[in-house]
Amino acid sequence: MKICYKKLQKLMIDNQMKRVDLMRAAEFSPYVATKLNKNEPVSLDVLIKICKVFHCDIGDICEVILDE
């Protein structure tokens, strides 16, 4: 099972938001930002903070990809 944050990347582009802007708005570290860029799991707290920034649901920023 993998996680993909392509939806988050699209939201950032649509809102003209850079990685640093999201880090400040959602108050998470560069380490977490790197994990997001590498499609690695992050804590639910981080995902909730990102959802608050974009006023959206978790499904709007990431998706789970099941192994075949």
Query: Hey, where are the domains in the chain?
Result: 2-65
Q: What's the pLDDT at 59?
A: 94
* pTM given for the model: 0.90
Q: What's the pLDDT at 1?
A: 86
Would you give per-residue pLDDT tens digits along the chain (68 residues)? 899 999 999 999 999 999 999 999 999 999 999 999 999 999 999 999 999 999 999 999 999 999 87
Phi and psi angles of residue 26, each rounded to the nearest 5 degrees, phi first: -95, -5
Q: What is the CATH number of domain 2-65?
A: 1.10.260.40
Q: What's the pLDDT at 68?
A: 74
| Token digits of residue 56 | 């959206």
